Amino acid sequence: MDIAVLGYGVVGSGVAEVISLNEKKITDKLGGERINVKYILDLRKFPGDKNEDKIIDDFNIILNDGDVKIVAEAMGGLHPAFEFVSSCLKAGKSVVTSNKELVAEKGDILLETAKENNVNFMFEASVGGGIPVLRPIIQCLAGNDIDEVAGILNGTTNFILSKMIFDSMSFEDALKLAQEKGYAEKDPTADIEGFDACRKICILAALCFGSHVYPKTVYTEGITKITLEDVEYVRSWGGVIKLLGRAKKAGDKISAMVTPALVKNSSILSGVNGVYNAVLVRGNAVGDVAFYGQGAGKMATASAVVGDIIDCAQNIGKNKGIGWNKAADGAVIDISETETSLYVRASGCKDSSLEKAKEIFGDITVLSRDNAPEDEFAFVTPEGKEGALREKLEKLDGTELLSVIRTVNY
C-alpha cells in the first residue's frame, strides 16, 4: 500500500525509518501487504539521503495519486498543514498526524471531514509522543465516565526542570541541551511558555469530555520564571516542580490549565524525569490509570505515527467513528474559581512578613533553603479558591512577591 509523508524533519524522517526498520513485522500485521513510502513532501533537498529519490516539492502529485491511500502529516504548524490534510481527506485518503496545533485548533472539523469521506483522521503522536494514550482513552476506557485528566505533557520542559532539580543546571543551559537533542519545537517558545502542553491538554480534554476545547480558552503559564531558588525551597517541602496540563469536570463545565505545579515526592508524577511524559486519567469505573513513556524524540514519536498508519491500513473504507462536538462558549471556568494552595516566595522583613502571612492565611507551611538571603522567605498556603488566595496575597504589604506556584495533590 502506497503512503506519503508530508515533511522530512525529525518526525517525518523517523516515520520513514521505523517503516523500514520494522518492515517485516508491519507487513505481517497487514496480512502480507507492504507499506511503501512513495513520496516525501519537503521544500528542502536532501542530497545523499537514502530517501532522496522520494522527495518531491509539489503537494498536488500526492493529492492526485489515487494509489496513495494514507498520508502522514509531520510538517507542524497550522498552515498549510490544515489545507493539505483537509484536501487529502476529501480526496479519500486517511491522514495521520503528530501535529498537536492542527488537532487542537481544527480537530473537530477534520474529524467531521474524515467521517463525511469515510476515511480516518488519527493523531496518537500528537499527545505524549510515543506513549499510547489517545487510543486507550477512545477504546479501552470507553466504558468510563472520565472526570479528570492531567499530566506532564511536554518533554522539553520536563527535561529542563529535571536538569535544574538534579544537576542545578541553569534554565538556559538546559534549554540549549534539549534543543541539541531534538526535543524542542522549532521555536522553543511553544515549549517553555506552555503552549505545546496547552494544545495537548486541549486534545485530551476533547477526547475525555466530548467537546472541542480551544487553546485560547485555557489558562497557560510556562516555566520561564522558575528559578533554582524555587527548586530548593520545594525540595524542603518534600517535592518537585513540574509543568502540568490539567482538565477536570466542573459541573457542566470544565476547568483546564497549564501551569508549573508543586508535586509531592510520593506522587507518581515526581518520578517522571527527563524527556518522559506521563498522563493520568481518572475514570468512574477504572479509577486512576497512568500512561508513561517518551514524550518527544524522533523514533518514539514515529512509533505512534506508524501505529496510526497501520490502524488506517486495517480500516480502509471504514471510518472508525472518532469525533467530538464543537466547542461550547464559556465551557472552561476561570482559573480564579479553581481550588488550589499556593507556594509563595517573597522578599521583605522575614519574621514580620511570615507573622502577617499566618494572620491572613491561617495554617501556612514555612519552607527553607541553604544560603537564603536574610530578607527572603517562602511558604505554602492552605487550600482555597485561587481568586480568594490571590486577594489575600495582596494584603501581604511591605513584601515583594518573587514566585507564586500552584500545588497539586495527584
CA angle 344, 348, 353 (to 5 degrees): 65
Whole-number minimum distance, CB 126 to ligand HSE, in Å?
7
Considering only residues 148, 185, 193, 232, which one is a binding residue for ligand HSE as defined by CB under 6 A? 185
Quickly count helices (H) and strands (E) in the chain.
14, 18
CB of 181 to ligand HSE, least distance (A): 10
Instruction: Using the rule CB under 6 A, give the single segment among 102-110, 178-186, 327-335, 349-357 that binds ligand HSE.
Output: 178-186
The verdict on 220 binding ligand HSE (CB under 6 A) reads no
In whole angstroms, how close is the CB of 226 to ligand HSE at the nearest point? 16
Least distance to ligand HSE, CB of residue 355, Å: 43
156, amino acid identity: T
Nearer to ligand HSE, 120 or 156 (CB): 156
If the CB atoms of residues 276 and 377 are measured against ligand HSE, the closer one turns out to be 276
Residues 284-313 that bind ligand HSE (CB under 6 A): 295-296
DSSP string, 74-104: ---SSTTHHHHHHHHHHTT-EEEE--HHHHH
Query: Applying CB under 6 A, does 123 fall inside the site for ligand HSE?
Result: no
Distance of closest approach, residue 127 Cβ to ligand HSE, in angstroms = 8
User: Binding ligand HSE by CB under 6 A: which of 94, 97, 113, 156?
Assistant: 156
Distance CA(71)–CA(87), nearest Å, equals: 11
Task: State in angstroms the smallest separation of the CB of 281 from ligand HSE.
Answer: 19
Residue among 243, 253, 269 nearest 155 (CA): 243
| N-terminal to C-terminal alpha carbon distance within the chain | 45
Which span (88-96, 182-190, 279-287, 337-345) binds ligand HSE, by CB under 6 A?
182-190
Member of 76, 107, 151, 155 binding ligand HSE (CB under 6 A): 155
Lay out the site mask for ligand HSE across 186-215 (x = CB under 6 A, - = otherwise): -----x----x-------------------
CA dist 41 and 63 (Å) reads 11
Q: Whole-angstrom Cα distance, residue 37 to residue 50?
A: 12
| 258 touching ligand HSE, by CB under 6 A | no
Q: Count of alpha carbons within 13 Å of 156, Cβ hemisphere only?
A: 29
Q: Which residues are catalytic?
A: 200
What's the DSSP call for residue 184? Answer: S
Write down the least CB distance from residue 80 to ligand HSE, Å.
Answer: 20
Q: Is 25 helix (H, G, I), strand (E, B) or coil?
A: helix
Least Å distance, CB 74 to ligand HSE, is: 11
Of 10 and 89, the one with the shorter C-beta distance to ligand HSE is 10
**Region near ligand HSE per CB under 6 A, out of 151-159, 317-325, 344-352, 376-384:** 151-159
Does 99 bind ligand HSE (CB under 6 A)? Our answer is no
**Which residue number, 14 or 239, has a Cβ lying nearer to ligand HSE?**
14
Count CA atoms within 13 Å of residue 185 on its CB side.
Answer: 22
Q: How far apart are CA 89 and CA 59, in angstroms?
A: 14
Closest CA to 15 of 24, 5, 25: 5
Closest CA to 110 of 326, 330, 332, 304: 326
Size of the site for ligand HSE (CB under 6 A): 11
Q: How many CB atoms lie within 10 A of CB 236?
A: 14
Does residue 338 interact with ligand HSE by CB under 6 A? no
Q: In what order do the strands lie in the sheet with 55-56?
A: 55-56, 36-41, 2-6, 68-73, 94-97, 121-122
The dihedral sign for the CA sequence 96, 97, 98, 102: negative
- Part in contact with ligand HSE (CB under 6 A); list of ranges 47-55, 177-185, 316-324, 365-373: 177-185
The amino acid at residue 387 is: G
Q: Is 184 in the site for ligand HSE (CB under 6 A)?
A: yes
Contact between 129 and ligand HSE (CB under 6 A)? Answer: yes
Please spell the DSSP secondary structure of 40-71, one letter per residue. EE-SS--TT-TTGGGEES-HHHHHT-TTEEEE
Residue 381 within binding range of ligand HSE, rule CB under 6 A: no
Under 8 Å between Cβ of 37 and 51: yes
Output 119 or 184, the one with its CB closest to ligand HSE: 184
* Residue 154 makes contact with ligand HSE by CB under 6 A: yes
Q: Which residues bind ligand HSE (CB under 6 A)?
A: 129, 154-156, 183-185, 191, 196, 295-296
